[in-house]
Chain A
Amino acid sequence: MPSHLLILPAHNEAGNLPRVIPEARAAAPDFDMVVIDDGSRDPTAAVAASLGAEVVTLPVNLGYGGAVQTGFRYAVEHGYDLAVVMDSDGQHDPAGIHLLAETVLSGQADVAIGSRFRGRMAYHQPWVKRVGMRLFAWTVSRITRRDVTDPTSGFQALNRDALRFFAYDNYPVDYPDADTLLVLHYAGFRVTEAPVTMRERLSGVSMHSGWKPFYYVFKMWLAISMVVLRERTHMSAQRIGS
């Protein structure tokens, strides 16, 4: 019996979950749902549980990547054959869940990335991040020789092999991003983009606010360079079960 999991990493999202969880459930009723409460100081975990989601609470804040990886481990340990990661701040339109899942289930790809530039853009961003993302997309496209339009997208579907590959290793703690796509490429996974809609976040503070876009762009360049330097390591990374 094939089973699918929706992973919602959440840090202080108690205000958004009451809208996001029912929306996601309506859009993907055949998915189980796990909220990874990343050391929130608001009642994120209680709100998620009251809405009927499974909740994994991290006792300290790990950061986005650490939370998502916890979701991957959950998926692997509970034997799911597919997982979709979706932000719990309402930026990702849950209508995209099925398109991403179908892209992977049909065997077209091991990982499907939801691209806001292929889909509808309803969304404003600081210029630093916009310029940075263009550069990252260009770099990743050059290296992978595939047209990558939105490497920073966190709206993704992964099959069992990719989940295992990321669950215990190979995944950055802070921003899994363009560098993660390169790691996948070097390790021999097929990555495809699918068009999705992204919106302004509903409430709360984004992880990309204030001075953070500058840090983000610098950190991303460093991470991408390191993946390129480690190319051989990633190419020989063990793909369990494939």
Chain B
Amino acid sequence: MMAPLPRLLVFALGLTVLLLVVNLVRKRQLQERYAILWLLAGLALTLAPVLIPWLDHLAFSIGFEYPPALLLLLAVVGLLLLIFQLSLTISRSEDRLKVLTQELGLLRHTVATLQREAEATRAVDPTQEEQAGEQNHD
């Protein structure tokens, strides 16, 4: 069994995580889909004081000689899930970044080409520039 003080600390930590995540989602600094796993983690921490005796019991019955090992295992699996989700997100973001970068480079090239052509036309036919200038003064 856990002593009262560690229980209180874990409970407070869980509550802090929950409040922080909810607040960030409220302020739109964290998207819902990334908040879900963090909310689950916060919930697990908050309920830990109640869950741990039950987990210890479960660990013994599965055959863990040292019950906290099961707790640590679950924690590590949870963290791996979070990190994995981030890796997936990074891969998708890089794909999108690649497409945007290529589009931007090609567009800038097109714009530069059009600008050169426009300048060449103006150099050949100065009346066009005067007309454009007059329009600007209106």
Contacts and interface: CB of A to CB of B under 8 A. Distances in A.
Interface of A: 36, 54-60, 62, 66, 69-70, 73-74, 77, 173
Interface residues of B, number: 10
Contacts of A62: 98, 101-102
A54 B109 contact: yes
Contacts of B76: none
Interface string B65-100: 000000000000000000000000000001001100
A36 B94 contact: no
Interface string B98-138: 10011011101100000000000000000000000000000
Given A54-B109, A56-B109, A57-B108, A73 B98 contact: no
A173 B94 CA distance: 10
Contacts, number: 36
Give chain B's interface secondary structure class: helix
Given A57-B109, A60-B101, A73-B106, 16 more contacts: A54-B109, A56-B106, A57-B105, A58-B101, A58-B104, A59-B101, A59-B105, A60-B97, A66-B98, A66-B102, A70-B102, A70-B106, A74-B109, A77-B106, A173-B94, A173-B98
Give chain A's interface secondary structure class: mixed
A69 B95 CA distance: 13
Contacts of A173: 94, 98
B33 to A, nearest CB: 25
Contact of A69 (B94, B102, B104): B102
Contacts of A73: 102, 106
A55 B109 contact: yes
User: Which 4 A-B pairs give the minimum distances between C-beta atoms?
Assistant: A58-B105, A70-B102, A56-B109, A56-B105
